[in-house]
Amino acid sequence: MSKNGIIIAGAVTAIIISVLAPFMASSNPDGLDKNLINLIGGGSEEHAEEIIGERMPIEYNAPMPDYSIEGMGKPGEVGAIVAGTILMLGISLSLGKVLVKKQGT
Partner 1 sequence: MHIGDGLIPLGQSVIYWLIALVFIVKSLEWARKDMDEMKVPMLAALAAGIFAIQAMNIPIPWGTSGHMMGAALAAIILGSPFAAVLLLTLVLVVQGVVFADGGITVMGANIVNMGVVGGFIGFYSYNSLKNSIGMTAASFAAGWLSIFITALVCAIQMYLAGTFPLREGLLFMGLYHAVIGVVGEGAITAIALNRIMAVRPDVVSEKSVPGVGVAA
Contact between 36 and 51 under an 8 Å Cβ cutoff? The reply is no
Is residue 20 at the binding interface for partner 1, with CB under 8 A as the rule?
Answer: yes
Is residue 17 at the binding interface for partner 1, with CB under 8 A as the rule?
Answer: yes
Is residue 25 at the binding interface for partner 1, with CB under 8 A as the rule?
Answer: yes
Is residue 32 at the binding interface for partner 1, with CB under 8 A as the rule?
Answer: yes
Q: Is 93 exposed, middle or buried (0-12, 13-18, 19+ CB in 10 A)?
A: exposed
| Whole-angstrom distance, CA of residue 78 vs CA of residue 74 | 6
* Contact set for partner 1, span 43-72 (CB under 8 A): 52-58, 60-67
Is residue 28 at the binding interface for partner 1, with CB under 8 A as the rule?
Answer: yes
CA distances from 30 to 12, 22, 72, 85, 97 (A): 27, 15, 24, 21, 35
- Give contact residues for partner 1 (rule: CB under 8 A): 1, 3-4, 6-7, 9-11, 13-15, 17-18, 20-22, 24-32, 34-36, 38-40, 52-58, 60-67, 80-81, 84-89, 91-93, 95-97, 99-100, 102-103
